[in-house]
Amino acid sequence: MGTVVTVMNMKGGVGKTTVSAHLASSASALPDRPRKVLVIDYDPQFNLSQALLPSKTYFALEKAKKTILQVLLEDDVNLDPYHLQVPGNSIPPSVDDVRVRVLNFKDGSLLDLVPSTLDLMYVALGQAHTSIKPMEERFEKFIGECRKKYDLVIIDCHPAGSVFTKTSLRNSDHVLIPVAPNKYALRGIGLMMSFIESKKQGDVGPQPHILFNLADRKGISKSEGSIRASEKYSKYCLNNTLKRFSAFGDLEEGTGFAWVNKKPYGSQAWVNLYSVVTEFLKRVEVRA
């Protein structure tokens, strides 16, 4: 059974989608063992989809209704921002019906994507006038199928309290919290930890991990140092940090992956990313 990870922070500007894109693509590209990776764009802004797919491919998939929206709703006709359409049944489409292949490797490793769509915003904003349990059940069953077909499932989640965060956290084994080094970082982690706790089902909940992102290439910022020194949060912090490299911003429309980036400092960026990804995978993956 595959491992499911939500990438999330209630605070914006922390590089959540960039982390998701590079984590998912690099996990599939690592030479340590064959790994089948699925990344789900669960954010109405669909930035992850734009990073991993050419525009022509993306809009063709959206037109064909092959997005995460179809997992939540059986009928997306007449979407209403003031009224949440709750599906009449709890049977989602198969993952094969909504995923698209992004990367293939000779050893059998691969990266698939379930794209998002701006229409997902209707679900985020809509007010439900009945129970949304069918929607929650559809997502749970969908993730259950994903676990059977992939070694690692990464969910790039909407950064606000909604049906997305609730369903994502309740179906994840781990939560990766990207943190940018600024004076509000500690407060953001506190809010995120409280939110994770509130979404637990009894005593069962995802394990949090803190990744310092956009860090200076030399030294440690004051905010990072204070969080690492905290008795409350230090045990969740990854040892490696993701540094500020322009190469990480080059991933767009399915090109610019870190391991093939030839721009200045591109090789250093890949070495840095490699260290982060390998450490994180050692933390979360369950080996047979």
Write down the pLDDT at residue 237.
Answer: 96
Q: In the structure, what pLDDT confidence band is assigned to residue 264 with cuts at 50, 70 and 90?
A: confident
Q: Model's pTM, two decimal places?
A: 0.93
**More confident call, 269 vs 180:** 269
Question: Cβ atoms within 10 A of the Cβ of 145, count?
Answer: 14
CB atoms within 10 A of CB 112: 25
Average pLDDT, stretch 107-122?
Answer: 94
Name the residue ranges covered by the structural domains of the chain. Answer: 3-282
Radius of gyration of the chain (CA): 18
d(CA 178, CA 240): 12
Look at residue 288 in the predicted model and tell me its pLDDT: 42
- What is the average pLDDT across 236-249? 95
Say if residue 253's pLDDT is above 90.
yes
* Per-residue pLDDT reduced to its tens digit, 50-97: 999 999 999 999 999 999 999 998 766 556 555 566 666 789 999 999
Interatomic CA distance for residues 164 and 82, integer angstroms: 17
Q: What is the pLDDT of residue 90?
A: 83
CB 92 within 8 A of CB 144: no
Per CATH, the homologous superfamily of domain 3-282 is P-loop containing nucleotide triphosphate hydrolases (3.40.50.300)
Residue 199 has pLDDT above 70, yes or no: yes
Residue-wise pLDDT tens digits, 138-154: 999 999 999 999 999 99
Q: What percent of the chain has pLDDT over 70?
A: 91
Q: Which residues contact 22 (CB under 8 A, 6 or more apart)?
A: 248, 251, 258, 273, 277
Share of the chain above pLDDT 90, in %: 68
Give the pair of three-digit tokens for residue 274. Answer: 């490699």
